[in-house]
Structure 1
Amino acid sequence: MPAPKDLEGRHALVTGSAAGLGRSIALKLAERGASVIVNCTKSMADGEATVADCQKAGAQARLVQADVSTDEGCAKLAEAAAQGGRLDILVNNAGITKHARDHSDLDALTREDFLHTYAVNVAGPFLMLQKTKALLVEAHRQTGRASAVLNVSSIAGVTGIGSSVAYAATKGALNTMTLSLARALAPAIRVNAVCPGFIGTRWFKDEMSPEQYAKMEAGVAASVPLHVASGPDDIADSAVFFLTDASRHVTGETLLVDAGMHLGYAPLVAR
């Protein structure tokens, strides 16, 4: 069944959208009629492929290379969004980690590891809102509809599991920031978050052999209550809810989309 064109005429920006979950969200927004700014830091070929697929869906799309951990990168993205006159949807998806799964090994992370992870995962979403706030408010002024901001967090920020202590800490901070900004920016802007568990993307695949990845994916499916290993589209379907009028009365929410991982069967992995 074709996607409804309920986002026709809306302008969206998705950070970290060259691949993985960000790509899936960008494509779903495009399929529903939104124009989309795709963002990457380095993966230009992947970003161009995502733009091409958004355009195949009938949407206007373009790629902006920018690093959200910097003022300059966020300003560049905001300048691109300003060309549309307003911004209806902002998805703060860009995120990084340094894999250090043994949380008891405190020597596995350096001060620089912590600061860089925070710069992308926490400062990045804040800076993006700082730079695009006027555009988001303008969309509310023009339409009477609250603009939608979605922060992509993680089950790691709720349970403390995950790829590293630093990663879990940043996602916990992002969850708290979601609450603060939802309160502060209403009624013009709604701010929500999704907390995925395991997602089958290059996040893990690039760190493992195909055999290791297949074993881990099977282990995840066996250990979560729903007995599934989620892919990017599975999470994106839930994420897009926060970007449509179906959630028009929702702000300050943090939704766990983890196949039940938080219920106590969680393995030692999380997005």
Structure 2
Amino acid sequence: MDERGFKGKTAIVTGSATGIGAAVARRFGREGANIVVNYSRSKAEAEAVVAAVETAGGRAIAIQGDVASDADCRKIAAAAIEAFGTVDILVNNAGITKFAAHADLDALSQADFQRLYGVNVIGAFQMVRAVIAPLKASGHGSVVNVSSIAGTFGIGSSIAYAASKGALNTMTRSLARALAPHVRVNAVCPGFVASSWFTRSFGTETAERLADEHAKTVPLERVAAPEDIADIVAFFAGPASRHVTGETLLADGGLHLAVGQTSFR
């Protein structure tokens, strides 16, 4: 793909005010795309991403909405059509978690599960449903779900989070079957990503310590940046993967290779 490979394409990126979503929006913007920057609460950060996209040569708008609400999903889709006339790419990046030790079953309530599934799974489904007509009409529609290795290995911040990402991985395959041949659906499953999400969750000192420890654990001896994941999203969204659908790609620096290993050296 050339430097302006997404020029003229329209992408909705949910949860794109910060972190991976913001990196995806900026990446597409550098290649000339029209971007719908969706946010739930971070209005100022979303507007900063819009400015970055426009500075890079793309066009962008910021739209508030909670993807757990079907009405909000339809509002986001309508705003994209009104501003840009089409939707070619949907990146389901919005996600939430609750931190709870896996062995502490009392740490999670029914409401916790419902809220996590509402955003991480149902929200992704509702966004696909809201934009399915323009995705099909585009002739090259692509959905990229930002999942997690938690959904493959049952690890991560809580059982509810891992379960929701496992459901998202399964839904990726189901939608890939259901929407072919008009729309491709794939997922990227990051491991630890050095983003503002970890800093907000743990504080700067703890987040840096976790990143250092993680880098010593994985075979590639590095921690992913949001831009690393954005590159994979761009691959799935673009023509280089036009013969790929229903794929779930682990982007964990090789952490999955640790099974049965005590050292990589």
CA distance in structure 1 between the partners assigned to 2:77 and 2:253 by the alignment: 34
Segments of 5+ residues of structure 1 without an aligned counterpart are 141-145, 267-271
Give yes or no for the alignment of 1:198 onto 2:197: no
Equivalent residue for 1:186, pick from 166, 180, 201: 180
Contact 1:223 1:265 in 2 (8 A): no
Secondary structure in structure 2 of the residue aligned to 1:205: helix
CA distance in structure 2 between the partners assigned to 1:237 and 1:218 by the alignment: 23
CA distance in structure 2 between the partners assigned to 1:204 and 1:107 by the alignment: 24
Per-residue CA deviation, residues 143-187 of structure 1 (Å, 9 max, x unaligned), is xxx211100000000000101100000000000000000011011
TM-fit CA distance, 1:265: 6.1
- What residue in structure 1 maps to residue 253 of structure 2? 259
Letter in 2 for 1:97: T
CA distance in structure 2 between the partners assigned to 1:54 and 1:85 by the alignment: 18
- What residue in structure 2 maps to residue 7 of structure 1? 6
- What residue in structure 1 maps to residue 43 of structure 2? 44
CA distance in structure 1 between the partners assigned to 2:191 and 2:118 by the alignment: 22
Secondary structure in structure 2 of the residue aligned to 1:183: helix
Equivalent residue for 1:209, pick from 200, 203, 208: 203
Matches within 5 A, 1:1-271: 4-83=3-82, 84-100=84-100, 102-140=101-139, 146-264=140-258
Contact 1:225 1:265 in 2 (8 A): no
TM-fit CA distance, 1:223: 0.4
Letter in 2 for 1:74: C
CA distance in structure 2 between the partners assigned to 1:233 and 1:42 by the alignment: 22
Secondary structure in structure 2 of the residue aligned to 1:206: helix
CA distance in structure 2 between the partners assigned to 1:252 and 1:119 by the alignment: 22
TM-fit CA distance, 1:14: 0.3
CA distance in structure 2 between the partners assigned to 1:62 and 1:41 by the alignment: 14
CA root-mean-square deviation: 1.2
TM-fit CA distance, 1:86: 1.8
Letter in 2 for 1:10: K
Mean alpha-carbon deviation: is it higher for 58-67 or for 229-238? 229-238
CA distance in structure 1 between the partners assigned to 2:233 and 2:218 by the alignment: 20
TM-fit CA distance, 1:202: 2.4
Secondary structure in structure 1 of the residue aligned to 2:220: coil
CA distance in structure 2 between the partners assigned to 1:212 and 1:150 by the alignment: 31
TM-fit CA distance, 1:213: 1.7
CA distance in structure 2 between the partners assigned to 1:95 and 1:208 by the alignment: 17
Contact 1:224 1:265 in 2 (8 A): no
TM-score (norm 1): 0.93
CA distance in structure 2 between the partners assigned to 1:60 and 1:213 by the alignment: 33
Segments of 5+ residues of structure 2 without an aligned counterpart are 261-265
CA distance in structure 1 between the partners assigned to 2:80 and 2:224 by the alignment: 31
TM-score (norm 2): 0.95
